[in-house]
Amino acid sequence: MILDRYISWEITKPLLIFCPGLVFLFANFTAARYLSQVADGAMSGDSVVLMVLLKAAIALEVLLPIALHLSIVVALGRLYTDSEMTALFACGVSPDRIVRIVLVVSLVVAGLVAYLSVYVRPWANDIRYRLEHQAVADFDFNNMKPGRFYESSSRKHVIFFQHLDQQTGHMQEVFIQSREGNQVRVVSAKEAYYAEAVETEASRGLVCLEAQVYMLPQDHGDLAQATTQRLVIEWGRSSDLVLEYRRKAAPTWQLALSDSSVDIAELQWRLSTPVATFLMGLLGFPLSRARARQGKYAKLFVAVLSYATFYNLNLVAKTWVEKGVVGTIPGIWWVHILLAILVAGLLWGPPWAALWQGRGRRS
């Protein structure tokens, strides 16, 4: 038990450093992205902190496994380089005993990742989508800055204006692209402003003055052009928009009842993250073997590379399932099967694995 607690604590120490460090870096990156949206007037600054926390909670299902993988490589690598592992083997401690300790630690972390992936991920995504929807609903023309492109909440219109009259609030040198059926309408107006329903006598809209209108049929028909002194483009507030279905926010039980390949790929992703955590934890043991005078971070690059390779393969497998390139069986599980074979081969496998183990012991 003393040995179990000692090695478990040696793994936990770097885990308590790596995981918060990765979350901190991710949160900073996410905050920078949202703050740029606040600067563009596309999002309120009040919700930035909550959005960053939600994104960090979602990312934990990815950050925690890599933190565990790196922690095992670094912790056990230090035991090898300080010859503590050699002393343990000389005292009769078998490698299988070390594997059992790593297995228990990996199972504990995998259980936490399972909770994050199955329950926290859809819950956090649901709140995030609602906040983003609310940000779109609260979009105000007064917050727009000249010289930038903005898309309407309905995604039917794109607007760009060169200048803004600070006294009247009117936009100048305005360019608007809209999609109407199979036609694309391009409006170039000298001035435009947002008007309420009373002024437009219909719905709330964007009033364009001295406008040139071009209709571009998508079936390669003739270009139509018109000039008007006043044009009203319907541009209603988005508060009436309905929050559409998002699979990342769907409860896990709902995904389990779906026969859509996209939903099944999302379900398999959630169920596979604890499996991946467990396997990457076990992979850390053979990767940690190092020579006595090697640095304790010598295998860190190999550990990062192995996790990046696995993660990217997992993303590719998920995309293939979503697009029907690979069936829902084997789905994304073939990546985990390959990883399991690799781990088993390095731990208990064929002669080439024994040579790897022997190299680690001699060192």
Looking at residues 124-147, what average pLDDT do you find? Answer: 76
Facing residues of 233 across strands?
206
DSSP code string of 4-38: HHHHHHHHHHHHHHHHHHHHHHHHHHHHHHHHHHH
Token pair 């009373």 is at which residue? Answer: 198
pLDDT digits (tens, 9 = 90+) for 172-202: 888 888 877 777 888 888 888 877 655 545 5
Q: Please say whether the beta carbons of 214 and 183 come within 8 A.
A: no
pLDDT of 101 reads 93
pLDDT of 199 reads 54
Continuous H helices in the chain:
2-39, 48-81, 84-90, 95-115, 121-137, 197-200, 252-257, 261-287, 300-322, 333-348, 351-362
Token pair 């002669």 is at which residue? Answer: 351
pLDDT of 205 reads 76
Residue in 247, 304, 276, 263 with CA at minimum distance from that of residue 113: 276
pLDDT digits (tens, 9 = 90+) for 304-320: 999 999 999 999 999 99
pLDDT digits (tens, 9 = 90+) for 11-68: 999 999 999 999 999 999 998 888 887 777 667 777 788 889 999 999 999 999 999 9
pLDDT of 202 reads 53
pLDDT digits (tens, 9 = 90+) for 218-258: 776 777 888 888 888 876 555 555 567 888 889 999 999 98
Percent of the chain having pLDDT more than 90? 38
Percent of the chain having pLDDT more than 70? 84
As a whole number of angstroms, the distance between CA 314 and CA 321 comes to: 11
pLDDT of 210 reads 87
